Structure 1
Amino acid sequence: MHQPAEKPSTDRRSFLKNGATVGAAASVAMTLPGRADAATGANERLRIGFIGPGGRGFGAHVKTLCDLHKEGRKIDLVGVAEVYETQRDMVADYIKDKTGTDPGRYVDYNDMIAKENLDAVCIGTPDHWHHKQIIDSLAAGLNVYCEKPMTKTVEEAFNVENKWRASGKVMQVGVQSTSLPVWNEIRALLQDGKLGKVLGFQTEYFRNSNVGQWRYYKLVDDMNPKKIDWQRWLGTNEELAPEMPFDRAVYKQWRRFWPFGSGMFTDLFVHRTTSMLKATGLRIPGRVVGAGGIFMEYDGRDVPDVATVAADFNEGVQGLITATMCNQESRVNQLIRGHYGTFELGNGEGFDGFDFVPERRQVTSQGDSAKRTFENERISTQPVKNTTKAHFANFLDACEAGEPELCNNPPDLGAAAMAVVNLGAQSYRNGEVYFVDSDNRGISTKDPGWAKKWEAKSKARELPNHIAGWKAGDFGSTLDEPEYMKLAGPWTDGQDPAGS
């Protein structure tokens, strides 16, 4: 086994090991018990190891960090842990060629953590390994970049969030679009009442393929039990997946099968859902239901090719995430709706702006709305050419500063997104509606009276709930009371309540 010739002292990375208090995050209120001290020495460098750098882990994690190294970031890529021998050597050789460092090569990521004196790891394994590898890395005092989805299940996601808060370490979840500035800009406008009462978001992730989703990952002869540690990949000793015979399709196209992920729910829906949660400030849903089916891609897969998730939030907002994997030229627009208007964002991540579409003037003329302009408007935003690179740069910035709250996609946001998409997947599979207690994170299929809660608010003529950070008072959140409504009310003993 290759080992680096020289190891830095443990004092070299003390800036990432010591705890200190930290304030609330800018994107959402959160309490972290500690933070890592920022680097003080001019020659401090982050030592980074890679866990499972397969397709995304190599193409995005390794190559992006090699580019950032070339541009002068103070990082060294020192270890590769990968169960597929051919992939492991290819990644390590690439790092050596691009950075001059010959990284240690490992099958077991625990050996890499024990021997390489790391400051951070990048996790690119299949979903079913994420939870254990994150927990092990945080316990070792490491900062973590983990590819989306953060975990395989929502219960695991809540546990990661708790462990991360207790650790004081930096952690970034790899939804790269969260590094677009547009989401913070939209959230500020929503909190200021630009749309009035926020009612819902709608988003998507459509695709199409003549071979079926994820079957475009090619199988080659070299993928075989002599080259791949199949038991370690499955995680049977850790009870992460059931025992099964080696299968190249399962290994390379694992997103098609439930033991390892949740198909489009967690591979694709999590992208757009995370962005919408960041834009609105919403986090844990109160009620989630999923629908769909395998309507065309009969290729041996488990996961659906058409799916929809509806998530209701206690803030009085509904999220709709919908798509098919068999059609992509008639996509649903991404948008956020309010009582006074809508933000329309189109599709994808290449935003240079978004549109404000107001409701008709008969609606927007309430209260002090005359002080505002309700005309169609194009609102500009700064596009980001390479969101993956921006996302990794943000992670490095947070590590170097020792400030977990600087990350654009921390675990509290990652856990919230998982609560939406994973419960949507479970609902689809089990035919159940899921309810979440946002205080204790309890998950149940027993209805706590969701509809009755909103009916009671209506009967009591209460004011609506609002997103976190709402600053607009009652603006765009109340109804006019027509004069004729004085005639409303139940008749008692034949008497007109209006006195007519």
Structure 2
Amino acid sequence: MPTDDTSSRQESVLNQVKHTENRRVFLKAGAGGVTAAALIAPGRSQAAAAANERLRVGFIGPGGRGFGAHVKSMCELFKDGRKIDLVGVAEVYQTQRDMVADYIRDKTGTDPGRFVDYRDMIEKQNLDAVCIATPDHWHHKQVIDSLDAGLHVYCEKPMTKTVEEAFDIEDKWRKTGKVMQVGVQSTSLKVWDEVRALLQDGKLGKVLGFQTEYFRNSGIGQWRNYKLVKDMAPSTIDWNRWLGIEEGLAPEMPFDRAVYKQWRRFWPFGSGMFTDLFVHRTTAMLKATGLRIPGRVVGAGGIYLEYDGRDVPDVATVVADFHEGVQGIVTATMCNEESRVNQLIRGHYGTFTFGNGEKFDGFDFTPERRQVTAEGDKEKRSFEPERIATEAVPNTTKAHFANFIDSCEAGDPMMCNNPPDLGAAAMAVVNLGAQSYRKGQVFFVDPESREISNTDPGWAAKWEKLSAARATPNHIPGWKAGDFGSKLDEPDWMKNAGPWVDGKDPATS
């Protein structure tokens, strides 16, 4: 499996997380002390950048999600008085391009430039930021091109097509100092920061795992709800440009409306539920726990019902184990929705349960029974169930774009609720899970070099060694609770344990 150049990745996983926790360290660590405001796009003068007191935004690939979420949310924020101008649309489908541009003109009074190739838009429209909503296989190139042009970037999830591409974007982001938001809108819920603080303070004791899901059901097959119309044709769609033939992004193939509009069903362009749906909940769980790059990932599933020509499974599960001693499980089917599993985080002393979806005003703490409490922790334990209130966010998508604008105006990459380090970590979980399913392999990630391998580095042996040494458990990043919830009581009868050496009873020695 190919890996990226690891020479610039010297930080450990925990150092990466601490870097993210300290939201003001980024500009020194990411660009050698160069501030984001000082990084001006090639060909643009300092004066030109300073003249844009309003954020000039262009849209790349505003199809279903790109129009329904990106364009419409930004038009609402324009109406709310935000200092943004929507000045460009780059879209390979002529009908869609004109519809989106006309909508922007009607809602904002600005007639945006209309382009087939996003590179022409970047060159001609004096942009400050772009919003990318193309199929997954284009994300890496378009993000890198935009960052190299000195632009802030909002990129729809998943951040990239592959894990290696995600790590590459994370590196580029740190070096340029530009703002980048990955489009998992639930990360703009305040609850995940609140949960992380509780976990770090030891509310659940040693954190052991998270469980999350994204169940759906459809009578016609998942992603086939995107309608195929006769107007979609080679005469209205630049098919080779959509594929990315010249860039080597996809193989040549005959035009097919289903591939164009329902591309999430096919491996060359997406990874089905792994990257379209699992990435939502996985990103939220990583944000809540502070975890980032997994150490071991395995995926399973199959196409058990939706035999409609698709490549991607309709039942899947990913198991990700982290070096911090935490396991994450992401599971779902696209053919059953009424028996969803709860989203939750488990610890030695209790569980946080969030229910389903992303619109909730609180979560539940369920304590473990008193008998599992370490003697020294009894006085500090909470034994009563508790409902913990949080602030609901009515429109997470709009809030996510507002957060992006705030970050751009402040020139602060770490103000974003879903920056690329978090986006790359989520990709490492869901994409390696998809690859594991397809290849029948378990994948391992080196915490320092980010090298990905299917050769076991001794994962089980590492934990067995810690147990044999009676070691202190590993903890989530930012842990502040010392040994709380991390030690076992030692029963008196364990004094009788141990090997008999030369026939001597260890209990009497």
Look up the SS of the partner of 2:95 in the other structure: helix
- In the alignment, the residues of structure 1 paired with residue 323 and residue 372 of structure 2 have an alpha-carbon distance, to the nearest angstrom, of 25
Contact 1:35 1:404 in 2 (8 A): no
1:183 aligns with 2:192: yes
Select 1:213's aligned residue among 213, 222, 227. 222
Contact 1:122 1:145 in 2 (8 A): yes
Give the counterpart letter for 1:453 in structure 2.
K
1:284 aligns with 2:293: yes
Q: Which residue of 2 aligns with 1:4?
A: none
1:37 aligns with 2:46: no
- In the alignment, the residues of structure 2 paired with residue 278 and residue 32 of structure 1 have an alpha-carbon distance, to the nearest angstrom, of 20
Contact 1:201 1:334 in 2 (8 A): yes
Give the counterpart letter for 1:388 in structure 2.
T
- In the alignment, the residues of structure 1 paired with residue 370 and residue 344 of structure 2 have an alpha-carbon distance, to the nearest angstrom, of 21
Residues 224 and 444 of structure 1: is their aligned pair in 2 closer, same or farther, counting only changes over 3 Å?
Answer: same
1:97 aligns with 2:106: yes
Give the counterpart letter for 1:476 in structure 2.
G
Give the counterpart letter for 1:272 in structure 2.
R
Aligned positions of 1:85-484 closer than 5 A: 85-364=94-373, 366-484=375-493
Give the counterpart letter for 1:397 in structure 2.
D
- In the alignment, the residues of structure 2 paired with residue 353 and residue 41 of structure 1 have an alpha-carbon distance, to the nearest angstrom, of 43
Structure 1 position 495, deviation (Å): 1.8
Structure 1 position 27, deviation (Å): 6.8
Q: Which residue of 2 aligns with 1:10?
A: none
Look up the SS of the partner of 2:37 in the other structure: coil
- In the alignment, the residues of structure 1 paired with residue 22 and residue 68 of structure 2 have an alpha-carbon distance, to the nearest angstrom, of 29
Look up the SS of the partner of 1:73 in the other structure: coil
Look up the SS of the partner of 2:437 in the other structure: helix
Look up the SS of the partner of 2:489 in the other structure: coil
Contact 2:367 2:382 in 1 (8 A): no
- In the alignment, the residues of structure 2 paired with residue 359 and residue 27 of structure 1 have an alpha-carbon distance, to the nearest angstrom, of 33
How many residues align structurally?
478
TM-score (norm 1): 0.94
Look up the SS of the partner of 1:78 in the other structure: strand
For structure 2, list consecutive stretches of 5 or more residues without a partner in the other structure: 1-17, 39-46
Look up the SS of the partner of 1:498 in the other structure: helix
Give the counterpart letter for 2:68 in structure 1.
G
Structure 1 position 491, deviation (Å): 1.2
Structure 1 position 83, deviation (Å): 0.1
Give the counterpart letter for 2:174 in structure 1.
R
- In the alignment, the residues of structure 1 paired with residue 462 and residue 209 of structure 2 have an alpha-carbon distance, to the nearest angstrom, of 18
Contact 1:256 1:302 in 2 (8 A): yes
Look up the SS of the partner of 1:166 in the other structure: helix
Look up the SS of the partner of 1:368 in the other structure: helix
Residues 458 and 433 of structure 1: is their aligned pair in 2 closer, same or farther, counting only changes over 3 Å?
Answer: same
Give the counterpart letter for 2:97 in structure 1.
R
TM-score (norm 2): 0.92
Structure 1 position 364, deviation (Å): 2.6
- In the alignment, the residues of structure 2 paired with residue 372 and residue 275 of structure 1 have an alpha-carbon distance, to the nearest angstrom, of 27
- In the alignment, the residues of structure 1 paired with residue 414 and residue 174 of structure 2 have an alpha-carbon distance, to the nearest angstrom, of 11
- In the alignment, the residues of structure 1 paired with residue 232 and residue 22 of structure 2 have an alpha-carbon distance, to the nearest angstrom, of 43
- In the alignment, the residues of structure 1 paired with residue 251 and residue 432 of structure 2 have an alpha-carbon distance, to the nearest angstrom, of 22
Structure 1 position 37, deviation (Å): 3.2
For structure 1, list consecutive stretches of 5 or more residues without a partner in the other structure: 1-22
- In the alignment, the residues of structure 1 paired with residue 338 and residue 35 of structure 2 have an alpha-carbon distance, to the nearest angstrom, of 46
- In the alignment, the residues of structure 1 paired with residue 107 and residue 50 of structure 2 have an alpha-carbon distance, to the nearest angstrom, of 25
Select 1:63's aligned residue among 72, 84, 88. 72
Structure 1 position 368, deviation (Å): 3.2
- In the alignment, the residues of structure 2 paired with residue 424 and residue 294 of structure 1 have an alpha-carbon distance, to the nearest angstrom, of 15
Contact 1:25 1:406 in 2 (8 A): no
- In the alignment, the residues of structure 1 paired with residue 84 and residue 144 of structure 2 have an alpha-carbon distance, to the nearest angstrom, of 23
Look up the SS of the partner of 1:367 in the other structure: helix
- In the alignment, the residues of structure 1 paired with residue 453 and residue 508 of structure 2 have an alpha-carbon distance, to the nearest angstrom, of 48
- In the alignment, the residues of structure 1 paired with residue 444 and residue 287 of structure 2 have an alpha-carbon distance, to the nearest angstrom, of 21
Contact 1:369 1:475 in 2 (8 A): no
- In the alignment, the residues of structure 2 paired with residue 407 and residue 464 of structure 1 have an alpha-carbon distance, to the nearest angstrom, of 32
Of 477-486 and 488-497, more deviation after overlay is shown by 488-497
- In the alignment, the residues of structure 2 paired with residue 487 and residue 345 of structure 1 have an alpha-carbon distance, to the nearest angstrom, of 44
Cα-to-partner distance string for 1:421-444 (whole Å, 9 max, x where unaligned): 000000000000000001110000
Structure 1 position 293, deviation (Å): 0.1
- In the alignment, the residues of structure 2 paired with residue 161 and residue 391 of structure 1 have an alpha-carbon distance, to the nearest angstrom, of 19
Structure 1 position 230, deviation (Å): 0.1
Contact 2:377 2:485 in 1 (8 A): no
Give the counterpart letter for 2:350 in structure 1.
G
Give the counterpart letter for 2:418 in structure 1.
N
Q: List structure 1 segments (4+ residues) > 3 angstroms apart after TM superposition.
A: 23-31, 37-43
- In the alignment, the residues of structure 2 paired with residue 225 and residue 210 of structure 1 have an alpha-carbon distance, to the nearest angstrom, of 30
Structure 1 position 493, deviation (Å): 2.4
Structure 1 position 369, deviation (Å): 3.3
- In the alignment, the residues of structure 1 paired with residue 69 and residue 169 of structure 2 have an alpha-carbon distance, to the nearest angstrom, of 23
Query: Identity of paired residues, percent?
Result: 79
Look up the SS of the partner of 2:507 in the other structure: coil
Structure 1 position 36, deviation (Å): 2.3
Structure 1 position 492, deviation (Å): 1.8
Give the counterpart letter for 2:368 in structure 1.
E
